[in-house]
């Protein structure tokens, strides 16, 4: 199962393997194991091998029992899943009293679990909300627009990721959804697809944000 950016493998003997794929971690499935650089773990199944590979080693794996997992700091403070019913209008509204901007809120894993940096730029472009906007200035109809965009972009991403990546569970967001579908991310200085204005790039909490200053207010 998955929770936020974590993968959990549940075993019958009540042990749980907790994976974080980091920036570059991924799994591949092979009938016969073929060595690749940066392979760290191999799971043997009857007809197949499941291999964990991570070039930059920002990922990790931990073995925990049921009690440890419920107290584990990685999972304990995670907010609701973005596609769950808990992530709704009332929940969103209640959290608008924080003193930050909308991009940082969406990136905050205790607010909503697992929304990546690329997704957040795309969600806010689709919602027509500038990433730097303070939360107290978010209007009620914009909450609905943002919620709608989160769902639309995640569903599109799941659909496209599923058709382009065979046998792979990839954590690198760039490979799955995007390339052709990105409206703003990675498009600094290029023309906005909607209004032809040049796309801006800024840094927020150390992460790149892309937006159109004409489409997003």
Q: Which residues bind Zn ion (CB under 5 A)?
A: 192, 194-195, 197, 212, 214-215
Residue 103 or 126 having the CB closest to Zn ion: 126
Residue 9 or 193 having the CB closest to Zn ion: 193
C-alpha separations of 142 from 5, 71, 128 in Å: 26, 35, 8
Residue 103 or 130 having the CB closest to Zn ion: 130
Nearest distance from C-beta of residue 217 to Zn ion, angstroms: 11
Residue 77 or 197 having the CB closest to Zn ion: 197
DSSP H stretches of helix in 78-139? 89-94, 102-107, 117-127
Nearest distance from C-beta of residue 216 to Zn ion, angstroms: 7
- Please enumerate in sequence order all residues whose Cβ is within 8 A of that of 97, keeping only pairs 6 or more positions apart, or say none: 135, 136
d(CA 114, CA 168): 19
Nearest distance from C-beta of residue 179 to Zn ion, angstroms: 20
Residue 110 or 191 having the CB closest to Zn ion: 191
Nearest distance from C-beta of residue 211 to Zn ion, angstroms: 9
Nearest distance from C-beta of residue 146 to Zn ion, angstroms: 17
């Amino acid at each position: 199962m998955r929770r936020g950016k974590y993968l959990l493998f549940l075993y019958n003997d009540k042990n749980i393997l907790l994976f974080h794929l980091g920036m570059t971690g991924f799994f591949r499935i092979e009938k016969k194991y073929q060595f690749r650089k940066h392979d760290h773990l191999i799971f043997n199944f009857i007809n197949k091998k499941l291999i964990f590979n991570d070039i930059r080693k920002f990922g990790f794996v931990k073995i925990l029992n049921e009690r440890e997992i419920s107290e584990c700091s990685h999972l304990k403070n995670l907010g609701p899943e973005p596609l769950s019913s808990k992530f709704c209008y009332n929940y969103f509204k209640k959290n608008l009293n924080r003193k930050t901007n909308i991009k940082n809120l969406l990136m905050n894993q205790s607010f909503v679990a697992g929304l990546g940096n690329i997704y957040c730029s795309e969600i806010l472009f689709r919602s027509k909300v500038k990433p730097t906007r303070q939360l107290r200035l978010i209007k009620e109809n914009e909450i609905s627009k943002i919620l709608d965009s989160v769902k639309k972009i995640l569903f599109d991403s799941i659909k496209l990721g599923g058709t382009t990546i065979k046998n792979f569970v990839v954590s690198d967001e760039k490979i799955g959804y995007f390339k052709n579908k990105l409206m703003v991310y990675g498009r600094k200085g290029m023309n906005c697809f909607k209004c032809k204005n040049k796309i801006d790039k800024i840094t927020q909490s150390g992460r790149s944000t892309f937006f159109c200053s004409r489409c997003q207010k």
